[in-house]
Amino acid sequence: MRFDIITIFPRIFDSYFNESLFKRAKKNKLLEVKTHDLRDFASDKHRKVDDSPYGGGPGMVLKIEPIAKAVSSILRNYKLQIIKKIKKKTRVILFSTRGKKFDEKTAQRLAKYDQLIFICGRYEGVDERVAKYIADEEISIGDFTLSGGELPAMVVIEAVARKLKGFLGKHESLEEVKGSYPVYTRPESLTIKGKHLRVPEVLLNGNHKEIDTWRRRSGGKR
């Protein structure tokens, strides 16, 4: 699977996607994460990608032209890598406070695509024509405001990548498979702030049927 990120701050992603699970997944060619500097698609020597909004108001707005060029370039270059007669599914996503709330169901749906292209807004937002005519959908990761779409892109990519076979190593590691429940590890008991804290006895008896029942009651599958 391939993730393409259009942003004016491409280096923000360097550390996150070159560590831990993503580093291994990229090495094993389970996925690709490509960042694209929006300024590379500007039409002037100053690489300007924003302008003041029509109608007045504070802040600047990301222009439609460089975004349109970036998306077209990504799609064109991706298609050149594809073997003829093999149809690939692509989705263009714009992060927006007005977008549909991101959830587990959305992550599962997006994991069925071969390529996801993310448009990360900044400043006062993105020219509305991007949402209407370039993006396939708008997504929000919550009822709060961030400075840009870079963090939402990381959140969505990780949530989707977890659905790819081999990303976590074991399919059983997925919470939607094993369920979400309290977990403990060594030491078996200790004292903190005068309180004696012990691991639940059921987890120590080796009876896997009882352990499974306890886990379902304590959290269970989604």
| Residue 1, SS3 per DSSP | coil
The β-bridge partners of 51 are 61
**Residues 121, 72 contacting (CB under 8 angstroms):** no
pLDDT at 57 over 50: yes
Residue type, 50: D
Q: What is the pLDDT of residues 166-215, one digit of tens each?
A: 999 776 655 665 668 899 999 999 999 999 999 999 999 999 999 999 98
- Pairing, β 2-7 against β 32-37: parallel
**Residues 6, 117 contacting (CB under 8 angstroms):** yes
The Cα–Cα gap between 123 and 154 comes to 19
- Measured on CA atoms in the order 102, 119, 154, 90, is the torsion positive or negative? positive
More reliable by pLDDT, 70 or 179: 70
pLDDT at 86 over 90: no
The model's confidence at residue 222, banded by pLDDT at 50, 70 and 90, is: very low
pTM passes above 0.75: yes
Orientation of helix 20-27 relative to helix 150-161, angle to 10°: 60
Planar angle of CA 38, 134, 87, nearest 5 degrees:
100
pLDDT at 45 over 70: yes
Token pair of 173 as six digits? 């590691």
Nearest partner of 117 among 162, 68, 181, judged by Cα:
68
The model's confidence at residue 78, banded by pLDDT at 50, 70 and 90, is: confident
The percent of the chain in helix, strand and coil, each rounded to the nearest 5, is 35, 20, 40
